[in-house]
Amino acid sequence: MRIGHIQLANRLFAAPMAGVTDRPFRQLCKRLGAGYAVSEMVTSRKDLWTSLKTSRRADHEGETAPISVQIAGTDAAMMAEAAAYNVDRGAQIIDINMGCPAKKVCNKWAGSALMKDEPLAVEIVEAVVAACAPHGVPVTLKMRTGWCASEKNAVRLARAAESAGIAMVAVHGRTREQGYGGMAEYDTVAAVKQAVRIPVVANGDIDTPQKAREVLAATGADAIMIGRAAQGRPWIFREIAHFLETGEQAPPPSVADVKTWLVDHLGDHYRLHGEYAGVRSARKHIGWTLRGLPGGEEFRARMNAIETCEAQIEAVADWFDALADRSPLMPAAPRAADPAIH
């Protein structure tokens, strides 16, 4: 699996998710089997590049290659400048956001709203590709099937993007109008795969190894992208890899392994976000991991009152030690709630 000239470890991708796929989470997903992980979207607004949120999103210190940064905006020149800015800061792949359905993004005609204005969408693609080409940086595109059920233009836009120099396209199997409701459909993804020669990635509702195999078979896609199902269960990537290779279900991870992964992740998370923000933003990652586990909700309520990194990480370690005493293997847990997947 390649994106332009860049060879990937495998065809299992972690989807960009606002407030989730910061550098520590991307590193965790790669550690547990993802061959590729895309950053949270970085705005094309130059006046926000020095903000704390954007500076954290553009922080790739120690991140394993390839480093992929997603950018979002509505002005071709600004998007080109944003691409160059992020390449200067270590981005090896630039991804264009035409998939986010969030109202605060679409109301500004960014994200999936760009699919309603194909000339502008193509102009943005051309500008970003031109900005990245001198640096040898490939450009990818994340989009939906269309704006609404009557305006599914993914095939047409994918062809135009390929002609403009896009190296790979990822398609979430819903329209913008659907948001994350209903079921993802994969016929459109298959149609895109048939229409272009560049790699195509299938995204949406892939939450088990069996579903991953089914989607790959149904779409002919070159890779799959996983978002919500990796929350609290980032080892899903290695489970899928094992199933695709052997046809057998991988054994669940041990509680001790999950404790190690989570504690390591929390330490990395605190180093990026600092004490105050780190403790608070870590709560969702801990909560997702505890979801459905015996005593998880009770511990989560207590954990949400903890105010320091040291106390939070100690409480998590103690809770997992107690869980391991009851059962050495992780029990199955239900799937995550919908985040903002881009």
- Active-site positions read 100
CB 329 within 8 A of CB 254: yes
Query: How large is the greatest C-alpha to C-alpha distance in the chain, in angstroms?
Result: 60
For 114, phi then psi, to 5°, come to -65, -20
For 62, phi then psi, to 5°, come to 80, 0
How buried is 141 (Cβ within 10 angstroms: 0-12 exposed, 13-18 middle, 19+ buried)?
A: buried
Q: Which residues of 315-329 are buried (b: 16+ CB within 10 A; e: fewer)?
A: ebeebbeebbeeeee
Transcribe 112-159 into DSSP letters: GGGGG-HHHHHHHHHHHHHHHGGGT--EEEEEES-SSTT---HHHHHH
- One-letter amino acid at 265 equals H
Transcribe 190-248 into DSSP letters: HHHHHH-SS-EEEESS--SHHHHHHHHHHH--SEEEE-GGGTT-TTHHHHHHHHHHHSS
Those residues whose C-beta lies under 8 Å from the C-beta of residue 53, and which sit 6 or more positions away, are: none
Integer angstrom CA distances of residue 139 from 105, 155, 160: 21, 18, 14
Residue with the two structure tokens 């989570």: 262
